[in-house]
């Protein structure tokens, strides 16, 4: 079970859109519609932002959206706000066990 591949960092200005990718294989991301995304602010616990590739839990702004194509899942944040600056992690199931991505630091310029 290898960690999913995410870019180390992305950045964007307030109001812009950014996309964070999460690349796996046909045994994890590509094989299941079970990708979830988590936001983690410094010193805080992770928070669920997207589940089952593209579904948003109640309370998560609709600026956050998820998608998947082949072995790569993506998290898009539109209308960037200062409070979106955080680390983001993807997670997928590989067989019956979950695996996380390495994490992406989002900087709001």
Residues near other proteins (CB under 8 A): 1, 3, 32, 34, 36, 38, 40, 45-48, 51-52, 57, 89, 91, 93, 96-103
Smallest separation (angstroms) from other proteins to the CB of 80:
22
Q: Which of 78, 109, 104 is nearest to 20 (CA)?
A: 104
Decide: helix, strand or coil at residue 42: coil
Nearest to other proteins of 13, 96 (CB atom): 96
Smallest separation (angstroms) from other proteins to the CB of 93:
6
Q: How far apart are CA 87 and CA 97, in angstroms?
A: 23
Smallest separation (angstroms) from other proteins to the CB of 66:
11
Cα 1 vs. chain centroid, distance in angstroms?
Answer: 19
């Amino acid at each position: 079970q290898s960690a999913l591949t995410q870019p180390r960092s992305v950045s964007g200005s307030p109001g812009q859109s950014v996309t964070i990718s999460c690349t796996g294989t046909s045994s994890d991301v590509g094989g299941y519609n079970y990708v979830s995304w988590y936001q983690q602010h410094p010193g805080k616990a992770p928070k669920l932002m997207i589940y089952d590739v593209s579904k948003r839990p109640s309370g998560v702004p609709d600026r956050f959206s998820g998608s998947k194509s082949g072995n790569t899942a993506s998290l898009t944040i539109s209308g960037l706000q200062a409070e979106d600056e955080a680390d983001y992690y993807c997670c997928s199931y590989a067989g019956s066990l979950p695996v996380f991505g390495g994490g992406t630091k989002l900087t709001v310029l």
